[in-house]
Chains A and B, each alone.
Chain A
Amino acid sequence: AQTVTQSQPEMSVQEAETVTLSCTYDTSESDYYLFWYKQPPSRQMILVIRQEAYKQQNATENRFSVNFQKAAKSFSLKISDSQLGDAAMYFCAYSRNYGGSQGNLIFGKGTKLSVKP
């Protein structure tokens, strides 16, 4: 069975600084997707960034980027120039690709990020 592990329950960063959230996963599949979701106090689940396993290039979305190490089964999220609005719970998630359609998401337990002004 696939699993996702986030080893940092809580992290803190100074405003405008950079922070990296860690995630490891376990799977025997070769075709899958990885995601980072943000959950602010409103509880809404917001997709931050996604990575296709077949792509070697790391995904980037503005201030958010990932370091995808397929052999090590590692998928970390880097937030640059941290802003107060980045404070939230961050979930790493995995889903298997079923020939073009998406399987269900398997989530890690989350990392609570605090941003200090």
Chain B
Amino acid sequence: DSGVTQTPKHLITATGQRVTLRCSPRSGDLSVYWYQQSLDQGLQFLIHYYNGEERAKGNILERFSAQQFPDLHSELNLSSLELGDSALYFCASSPTDRNEQFFGPGTRLTVL
């Protein structure tokens, strides 16, 4: 158990819908990263938050957005969903004094 929690574990929805994925980092970790794992694109970085502020953006679509709240949990919002958005979405957290990222169990999103 990495100490990072993600909910829900599985999500099945229809095209055009909007969903919210939630992540709670390890206690004390200020950084939260979101990654997408799909069969065709592999593991791709989406976005990084540090202590409530956006630090870096990767290959995140405009239909996707994220935020980190004062209690440090983070949410990834996916809207106008398409079939190609079906993937495993990981959240990872990192302590300030160690260069390691600890991954949550992931949320498997299926868009039908």
Contact = CB atoms under 8 A, between A and B. Distances in A.
Contact of B31 (A35, A47, A97, A101): A101
A102 B99 contact: yes
B77 interface: no
A109 B103 CA distance: 18
Contact of A103 (B56, B88, B90): B56
25 contacts: A43-B108, A44-B2, A44-B103, A44-B105, A45-B90, A45-B92, A45-B103, A47-B102, A50-B100, A52-B99, A91-B43, A95-B99, A97-B99, A101-B96, A101-B99, A102-B31, A102-B101, A103-B48, A104-B33, A104-B58, A105-B33, A105-B92, A106-B45, A107-B42, A107-B43
Contact of A47 (B44, B45, B100): B100
Contacts of B56: 103-104
- Number of contact residues on B: which range applies? 20 to 34
Interface string A17-59: 0000000000000000101010000011111001010000000
B84 to A, nearest CB: 18
Interface of A: 33, 35, 37, 43-47, 50, 52, 91, 95, 97, 100-107, 109-110
Given A43-B88, A43-B105, A105 B45 contact: yes
B45 A104 contact: yes
**Interface SS majority for chain A:** strand
B86 interface: no
Contacts of A47: 100-102
B24 interface: no
Per CB-CB distance, the 3 closest pairs between chain A and chain B, nearest first, are A45-B103, A107-B43, A104-B45
Nearest to A109: B42
Given A44-B2, A100-B97, A101-B50, 9 more contacts: A35-B100, A43-B88, A45-B90, A45-B103, A102-B100, A104-B48, A105-B35, A106-B45, A107-B42
Contacts of A106: 45
B5 interface: no
A85 to B, nearest CB: 17
